[in-house]
Amino acid sequence: MEKIAIISDVHGNYEALKTVLLDIEKRGIKQIYCLGDVIGKGSHSNECLDLLKNCFMLYGNWEDFFNNKRCSNDLDLKRYELLNAQISEENKNRLKSLPLCFEIYISGRLVRMFHATPENTRENVLEIDRIERIYKQFLPTKYTGTEIADVVVYAHTHTQNLMKLYNRTLINVGSVGNAFDIIRNEAKDGKCTNTTNADYLIIAGEINSKKDSSISFEFISLNYDKKLELEKSENNLEKEAFSQELLTGKFRNIKKYESNFNDAHYDIDNL
Ligand SMILES: [Mn+2]
């Protein structure tokens, strides 16, 4: 039985990433996959890219934003300029060649990984969405292979989740450096401690094997030094909003969970 680690949404949070990488190393896991959004929001985008030099990386919405300078307002432009000043030429070149999707067989299952959906890096799929919308996560697109996936591993919404659907498995690995809740229901929500940790996923099974055998998924949630990370966060345009997210686990544009939330999710920005 081999193990792989899947991380995502580091968002320039150096302390969180260091804590996660140390944990992965302690467990003797050699292979790490990163599902994108290494950069942006936090202050240490370049340092995080350096730490992930030997890690397989996919494209997230923040890499897409930076590569293609997708600025639609003043804040975007400032964010772009700050990243442009922080990121080394070598790392900029690396960001240009990231794939959107990755597929691997583990214990006979086709495991497909991407940042948000098999079609783009910025659409939000949440556990409260309609079932057919969630099911679309398994379907092939022009960016993927031609099969329906058995297991889909994605991220983008910064919250860990595992769901079995039509005998398939959908997993959100959560976020290493910017874990939070997009939605909260004050009457129903439990403790929020978990949403301020550094989160990632481990899969154990026969890697690169099409033969059916055992597979398991393990969520890891690690405490890390948030205060130190924030102390070292100079030159950050969004320090206040980012601090609030790190310390309280509340997304800056948090929505109250309403029954009609399904129709509003396209509006969420800053993920
Ligand atoms: Mn993100």
Contact 51, 269 (CB under 8 A): no
Q: Which residues contact 197 (CB under 8 A, 6 or more apart)?
A: 179, 221, 222, 223, 224
In percent, the amount of the chain with pLDDT more than 90 equals 82
Residue 235 banded pLDDT, cuts 50, 70, 90: confident
Q: What is the mean pLDDT of residues 133-153?
A: 97
Would you call 209 exposed, middle or buried from its count of C-beta atoms within 10 A (0-12, 13-18, 19+)?
middle
How many angstroms is it from 200 CA to the middle of ligand 1? 14
pLDDT digit string (tens) for 146-194?
999 999 999 999 999 999 999 999 999 999 999 998 888 778 888 777 7
Domains along the sequence of the chain with CATH: 2-267 (3.60.21.10)
How far is residue 82 from each of residues 8, 99, 230, 250, measured CA to CA in Å? Answer: 22, 24, 17, 25
Taking all residues of the chain, what is their mean pLDDT, rounded to a whole number?
Answer: 93
How many angstroms is it from 13 CA to the middle of ligand 1? 12
Contact 204, 5 (CB under 8 A): no
How many angstroms is it from 212 CA to the middle of ligand 1? 33
Q: Which of 40-44, 71-75, 182-186, 202-206 has the lowest mean pLDDT?
A: 182-186
User: Where does the chain show beta strands of DSSP type E?
Assistant: 2-7, 31-34, 56-57, 101-106, 109-114, 151-154, 160-165, 168-173, 181-184, 198-205, 216-222, 250-256
Pick the more confident residue, 42 or 194: 42
Q: What is the mean pLDDT of residues 203-213?
A: 98
The predicted pLDDT at position 173 comes to 98
**Phi, psi angles (nearest 5°) of residue 157:** -90, 0
How many angstroms is it from 158 CA to the middle of ligand 1? 6
How many angstroms is it from 121 CA to the middle of ligand 1? 9
Spatial CA neighbour of 254 closest among 263, 267, 237: 267
How many angstroms is it from 214 CA to the middle of ligand 1? 31
Residue 217 banded pLDDT, cuts 50, 70, 90: very high
Q: Quote the pTM value.
A: 0.94
How many angstroms is it from 271 CA to the middle of ligand 1? 4
How many angstroms is it from 210 CA to the middle of ligand 1? 32
